[in-house]
Chains A and B, each alone.
Chain A
Amino acid sequence: MFIHSDFPEDLESPPEYFTTWLTPVDSFFVRQHLPRPKVQPTTHSISIGGMVTNKLALSIADLKKLPQYTVPATLECAGNGRGNFRPRIPGLQWTKGAIGNAEWRGPRVKDVLAKAAVTYGATYVDFDGADIGVGKTPDFIRSIPLRKAMHEATLLALDMNGQPLPELHGGPVRLIVPGWDGASWVKWVSTIQVSAQPHEGFYMKTAYKYPKYAVGPGGAAKPEDMEVIEGMAVKSFFAKPSGETKHKLGTPVSLAGVAWGGENRITRVEVSVDAGATWQNAAVSKQDFPFAWRLWNFDFKPTRPGYYTLCCRATDSAGRTQPIEAQWNPSGYLYNAIERIAVLVEA
């Protein structure tokens, strides 16, 4: 894994791990804002309060008694690709591997909220994890709209790819918000508060916001023109080859990668072998779920030697597609520009 931070760990998956539909747990990227808390699964309790009739404390055993659901969903850090923006933006300098796809299993948040009986007028649910700020850094608390919390795919995951959720990935319990960026997927969930407005803390008021109107490279936006990020950008990239590689004329160059569109399905992945002048459809994998990426592949069969610039581009069911240049924004979120790699074909 590429190490962006050693304490707490922030680890990026190298491109070669993106050739399988499910990302193995031990190759899955890791993002931690704050030092990892020590959580005892046997004694851990989630307290549920705020605008509810029944204030509750649920153990992991209590969560396991609720109906369990498995949802395949792609998890991407909102800052994935930040390292590509110019001018450069402070923060984790992810290239493209702050993403993975897994099968998450656990009870639905809506079933947990049903036990608490949400009262009339509630519109948001706040999630707080067991991690705490260091020094004067703010605690990581995030809110999602009630309508998203009530979605049948929004889970409190206890398992990841068929095994108990590891501590590194938020175990024993993390929030899964399919089709939305990782900022909402709160790890080590310890408190759930139902409310009528988003949480007032740093991680809702300041962080994870995107300019309503494009500001241009190095530009600034007024606070009132910043919006909370919901959903995900449409995006694709190459798993292989990567960077610049050499190939012999006569053998096909096998291209492969992943494509995703947040809450939208991927309807098309295209490849260009002439730096974007012309495009052809790539083959897309049979797995066609909302919220989970699709694998794509394409055999490039050059008939002449030379230096070729290859691109891939995804289109989703809402008609969104990728731009040539990603929209610069002060925090470096949602980078989704068309990726370019190069192959040198030699006779």
Chain B
Amino acid sequence: MAALAADPAVLEKGRAEEKRCVGCHGIRIIHTQRLNRATWDRELTKMVGWGAVIKERDALLEYLVANYGDDKPVPAPARSGDGR
């Protein structure tokens, strides 16, 4: 599993898979999460239940955990550009 996680090709496949998500909602709601592996896995199941079509689920999970795992720092909040 560790070898799979570290493989840049897998992470790239996962990043490409993520594009399927923006059919229903923007990408930012994904990138503001910081979840452990089990929770990301449950979220993918929930999204599939709500109509998401995921082909490369293992790669997507690895990509999410590698970039948005609960050990990753919280991002500085993105601010809307209209001065508010």
Residues of A within 8 A of B (CB): 1-8, 10-12, 14, 26-27, 83, 87-90, 92-93, 95, 134-138
Q: Smallest CB–CB gap between B74 and chain A, Å? A: 7
Q: Is the CB of B25 within 8 A of A8?
A: yes
A2 vs B32: C-alpha distance in the bound complex, in angstroms?
Answer: 11
A12 vs B32: C-alpha distance in the bound complex, in angstroms?
Answer: 13
Give every chain B residue within 8 A of A14 (Cβ-Cβ). Answer: 77, 79
Can you add 9 more A-B contacts, CB < 8 Å, to A5-B29, A93-B74, A135-B24? Answer: A2-B78, A3-B80, A6-B27, A7-B22, A14-B79, A88-B35, A95-B77, A134-B25, A135-B50
Give every chain A residue within 8 A of B22 (Cβ-Cβ). Answer: 7
Give every chain B residue within 8 A of A11 (Cβ-Cβ). Answer: 80
Give every chain B residue within 8 A of A26 (Cβ-Cβ). Answer: 84
- Contact (A4, B29) CB under 8 Å given A12-B77, A83-B74, A136-B51: yes
A149 vs B49: C-alpha distance in the bound complex, in angstroms?
Answer: 33
Q: Smallest CB–CB gap between A97 and chain B, Å? A: 9
Q: Is the CB of A137 within 8 A of B50?
A: yes
A27 vs B35: C-alpha distance in the bound complex, in angstroms?
Answer: 29
A233 vs B35: C-alpha distance in the bound complex, in angstroms?
Answer: 25
Q: Is the CB of B70 within 8 A of A92?
A: no
Q: Smallest CB–CB gap between B30 and chain A, Å? A: 9
B73 CB–A CB distance under 8 Å: no
Give every chain A residue within 8 A of B34 (Cβ-Cβ). Answer: 88, 93
Q: Is the CB of A3 within 8 A of B51?
A: no
Q: Is the CB of A87 within 8 A of B70?
A: yes
- Contact (A2, B77) CB under 8 Å given A10-B29, A90-B33: yes
Give every chain B residue within 8 A of A88 (Cβ-Cβ). Answer: 33-36, 39, 70
A27 vs B83: C-alpha distance in the bound complex, in angstroms?
Answer: 10
Q: Smallest CB–CB gap between A28 and chain B, Å? A: 10
Q: Is the CB of A93 within 8 A of B39?
A: no
Closest to B79 in A: A2
Pairs across A and B, CB under 8 Å, 5 listed: A3-B80, A12-B77, A26-B84, A135-B24, A137-B24
Q: Is the CB of A1 within 8 A of B25?
A: no
Closest to B33 in A: A90
Closest to B81 in A: A3
Q: Is the CB of A5 within 8 A of B28?
A: yes
Q: Interface digits, B7-21 against A, CB 8 Å rule (1 contact, 0 not)?
A: 000000000000000
A3 vs B35: C-alpha distance in the bound complex, in angstroms?
Answer: 19
B52 CB–A CB distance under 8 Å: yes
- Contact (A5, B26) CB under 8 Å given A12-B77, A26-B84, A136-B49: yes
Interface hub of B34, B51, B80 (most chain A Cβ within 10 A): B80
Q: Smallest CB–CB gap between A141 and chain B, Å? A: 16
Quick one: which of B26, B29, B84 contacts A92, CB cutoff 8 A?
A: B29
Closest to B42 in A: A90
Give every chain A residue within 8 A of B42 (Cβ-Cβ). Answer: 90
